[in-house]
Amino acid sequence: MTKFTASPTAAPPFHHRAFFLQSLGAIHVIAFWSYYVQFPGLLSSSGIEPVQRSFPYTVPWLYQRLIASGTIDEDALCELFALTGMGIGALIATGVCEHGLSLGIIAAIYSVLVRTGGLFYHFQWDTLLLETTAIACLTYAPWTRLRSSLDKLSSPIAPIPLRFLLFKLMYMSGVVKLQARCPTWENLTALEYHFATQCLPGPLAWYAHQLPPILLRLGVALTLWIEIPAAVLLLLPLKRIRRYSVILQVALQVMIICTGNYNFFNLLTIALCIPVWEGNTETDIPLRPALQSAILSVFTIASASSMFRIERAQQDQRWNIVLFRDSNWLQPQLLLPHIPYCTILLLGGLTVSFLRSKSVTRVLHAIVCMLVIGMMAVPFSQISPNSYSYFYSTFGSLVTNHAKPYLLVNGYGLFRRMTGVGQVPYGARPGWAGLSPSIVERPEIALEGVYISTDETTESWEELTVFRWKPGKVSDMPWQVAPHQPRLDWQMWFAALGNIDHNPWLVSFLQKLIDGCRPVLDLVGAEYPGKKLKKVRAKLYYIDFTRMNTTWARTIPGAEILSDNASVFPSIVWARKRRREYLRPVSEAELSEYLSSQGYSLFCKNTTNPCDHIKTPRFWCIAAHVIRASTVYFLFPLGVVLAFLIRLTPQRKVPLAWTTRKISKSKKD
């Protein structure tokens, strides 16, 4: 009898190095695309903060050779740089070219764009992307082949510098929160403010804000534990324990993605987990899984119990979590100095084994890895100065002179102090577990304007809805915009924390609004019904999410409680109260006079003839304008990400095999 059977062949081996490099390429496509779509209204000669103000000082060598010589103007150069970065990132993301040189080129390009981007691009995720790309270029990407899967000379220690970078990112992010002595972190109440006070909340932030305080405090405790003790596990030469830490780090990033808009930062952090997940028989200690699990259990219980305790509050008998402020885990000078030394010692031991095997390439690679880790350790002096005097004296000058100017070695630490913490009124009832009630007062700027009309006797002020993403109308639920970062909306959050005197770019933005400058209007999506603004002003409000009718919400003074809890989608999302005047009513003439004194250009490009203002040869300006006018760039990142996801799909070949079986039966006579 003949039988048809399908005999599936095994899937091809999974290449962690290729997966990481392609993920890094896809993130670069997103970063360059986000820069490109915002450039005309944000940084161009017609934008809010033109690159012409910073170009001669931040990249003087490039300015003298290309711009001052009349070869190309700043606008066209930045746009072509962004397009080039998108193109190279697409080659890396699709696996066509993963060569180290390609990573070096996009790191150099993005470094120029970030340094000339001024305050709109001085964020930790921009510097993290630069540092990650530089380390991957020097220690992880192939240099003898275009694709990492074809590279036969790869070293087993290649993932270690990237693991150290992820450790530095997480550990510093956790420690600085407690070194700042912020009461919200010390009392584990930070999440009771965070969801409403973060720069751009996500769609689920309102719902997370309604959770009971005990769950939110548990979330803060888990965050600190994952960022500090669990981060140490990322460096251990024990695969099972490292992967446990990776799962925790990824879970934390996914929760942040669900409740906030932090552009590509969380995706990049998850991508850095790939080299940590990777295992290697030459660098990992072959410890039995049962023993690794036992070590992991003891470490988890011991570290958590040394940092926190769970108790009932005497005031209301509610459960609460308390932080031990004198825990050894919160003293970086006790632990931190030993980690880089142990990592470099491990690399040194592997280098000796490479010398015995006479592998010159691996020896040189190990030396580069040790130098890179030594340079990466220098920013630890920010949180433990005395412990890192040796590293700073050895590598400090190297970092200061060669890496820091290009943002290639950096320190990290988001949310040192929680903003939007309101004043507790005298005589207010205690909150959950006897602590002060968590009053949220997020400062937010609202712009108002008066349009030119025939009736000059009265002025009718209207609130201007000129921002797509930042909180505005009280009925608008937050949007999901990540991995794109709307830099102007984000910067408005920082402006609300200060005053107009320290934010001249905001004055520039208002002048562009009154002038009706098309690139700026396109940036914010503003449309005016054929009328021109006469005056503008700004008011500062304190806002908070509305609250569901719960026992803990009713104890918060000033909280706006919703009357109907039956609806999943609230009709009113934000509660706001006016605080003060942020900017008095000003006209276009007053704005222009102030900007001229600050060295701003009042130029706005003619959209019909965008290259008329160029005195040098206009070829590159016209080329950049033609590319932008095609609007194909809107679909480009979607195509690259789709191609990247297709490559991740396991390709299994299932051939049909003919199998013949002979079945013989004995017959009885």
Q: Name the pairing type of β-strands 308-312 and 319-323.
A: antiparallel
Would residue 538 count as lying in a domain? Answer: yes
Other Cβ atoms closer than 10 A to 155: 24
d(CA 485, CA 263): 5
Residue 5 pLDDT: 41
Q: Both 253 and 365 in a single domain?
A: no
365 or 540, higher pLDDT: 540
pLDDT band, very low/low/confident/very high, at 146 (cuts 50, 70, 90): confident
Please report, rounded to a whole number, the percentage of residues in the chain having pLDDT higher than 90.
47
d(CA 546, CA 309): 31
Angle (deg, nearest 10), helices 124-135 and 159-179: 160
Would residue 7 count as lying in a domain? Answer: yes
Tokens 């030459």 identify what position? Answer: 282
Residue 583 pLDDT: 94
Residue 2 pLDDT: 42
Would residue 609 count as lying in a domain? Answer: no
Q: Dump pLDDT digits (tens) for 315-364.
A: 788 899 999 888 777 777 666 666 776 777 676 666 666 666 667 788 88
DSSP state, 63? I
Residue 1 pLDDT: 42
Q: Considering 287, 308, 327, which residue would you say is the last residue of a domain? A: 327
Q: Dump pLDDT digits (tens) for 72-108.
A: 888 889 999 999 999 999 999 988 888 999 999 999 9
DSSP lists the bridge partners of residue 232 as none
Amino acid, res. 231: A
221: Cβ contacts below 8 Å, ≥ 6 apart: 188, 307, 308, 321, 323
Tokens 């609806």 identify what position? Answer: 567
d(CA 267, CA 263): 8
Q: Both 221 and 306 in a single domain?
A: yes
Q: Both 468 and 555 in a single domain?
A: yes
pLDDT band, very low/low/confident/very high, at 393 (cuts 50, 70, 90): low
Angle at 100 between CA 96 and CA 102, to 5 degrees: 60
pLDDT band, very low/low/confident/very high, at 661 (cuts 50, 70, 90): very low
d(CA 430, CA 437): 6
Residue 459 pLDDT: 77
Q: Considering 552, 568, 603, which residue would you say is the last residue of a domain? A: 603
Q: Both 86 and 116 in a single domain?
A: yes
Residue 392 pLDDT: 63
Residue 105 pLDDT: 96
Find the mean pLDDT for residues 267-275. 96
Would residue 396 count as lying in a domain? Answer: yes
Would residue 177 count as lying in a domain? Answer: yes
Cis peptide before 483 (omega within 30 of 0): yes
Angle at 170 between CA 166 and CA 173, to 5 degrees: 140
| Window from 25-39, 49-63, 257-271, 513-527 with minimum mean pLDDT | 513-527
Global confidence as pTM: 0.90
Q: Dump pLDDT digits (tens) for 397-413.
A: 777 777 788 888 888 98
How many Cα atoms sit within 13 Å of 36 on the Cβ side?
A: 30
The CB-based long-range contact list for 294-298 (8 Å cut-off, 24+ gap) reads 295/238, 295/241, 296/240, 296/241, 296/244
Would residue 419 count as lying in a domain? Answer: no
Residue 4 has pLDDT above 50, yes or no: no
pLDDT band, very low/low/confident/very high, at 611 (cuts 50, 70, 90): low
**Residue 38: Cβ-neighbour burial (10 angstroms; 0-12, 13-18, 19+):** buried
Q: Cα dist. 586→106, 246, 583, 603 in Å?
A: 43, 53, 8, 19
Q: Both 108 and 11 in a single domain?
A: yes
Q: Both 492 and 527 in a single domain?
A: yes
Q: Dump pLDDT digits (tens) for 209-264.
A: 999 999 999 999 999 999 999 999 998 888 999 999 999 999 999 999 999 999 99
Q: Cα dist. 344→369, 379, 450 in Å?
A: 9, 17, 64
pLDDT band, very low/low/confident/very high, at 627 (cuts 50, 70, 90): confident
End-to-end CA distance of the chain: 23
Residue 667 pLDDT: 44
Q: Both 148 and 178 in a single domain?
A: no
Residue 427 pLDDT: 81
Q: Both 535 and 630 in a single domain?
A: no
Residue 658 pLDDT: 38
Residue 179 pLDDT: 87
Residue 663 pLDDT: 41
Cβ atoms of 315 and 323 within 8 Å: the answer is: no
pLDDT band, very low/low/confident/very high, at 651 (cuts 50, 70, 90): very low
Residue 19 pLDDT: 92
Q: Both 567 and 630 in a single domain?
A: no
Find the mean pLDDT for residues 276-297. 86
Residue 517 has pLDDT above 60, yes or no: yes
User: What percent helix, strand, coil does the chain show, rounded to 5?
Assistant: 55, 10, 35
d(CA 224, CA 327): 12
CB neighbour burial string for 454-479, b if at least 16 within 10 angstroms, e if fewer: eeeeeeeeeebebbebbbbeeeeebe
| Window from 150-159, 233-242, 516-525, 624-633 with minimum mean pLDDT | 624-633
**Residue 410: Cβ-neighbour burial (10 angstroms; 0-12, 13-18, 19+):** buried
CA nearest neighbour of 52 among 668, 629, 603, 652 = 603
Q: Both 458 and 571 in a single domain?
A: yes
Q: Considering 396, 412, 428, which residue would you say is the last residue of a domain? A: 412
Domain that includes residue 259, residue range: 155-327
> What is the H or E stretch that residue 515 is in?
helix 504-515
Residue 161 has pLDDT above 70, yes or no: yes
Q: Both 509 and 464 in a single domain?
A: yes
Would residue 521 count as lying in a domain? Answer: yes
Residue 413 pLDDT: 87
DSSP state, 234? G
How many Cα atoms sit within 13 Å of 552 on the Cβ side?
A: 20
Q: Dump pLDDT digits (tens) for 420-477.
A: 999 888 888 888 888 889 999 999 999 999 988 766 667 788 888 889 899 988 999 9
Would residue 588 count as lying in a domain? Answer: yes
d(CA 376, CA 340): 9
Residue 657 has pLDDT above 60, yes or no: no
Residue 156 has pLDDT above 90, yes or no: no
CB neighbour burial string for 187-209, b if at least 16 within 10 angstroms, e if fewer: bbbbbbbbbbbbbbbbebbbebb
Residue 280 pLDDT: 76
Find the mean pLDDT for residues 639-662. 55
How many domains does one find in the chain? 4
Question: Which one of 329-338, 538-547, 596-605 scores highest in mean pLDDT?
Answer: 538-547
pLDDT band, very low/low/confident/very high, at 633 (cuts 50, 70, 90): low
Q: Both 265 and 341 in a single domain?
A: no
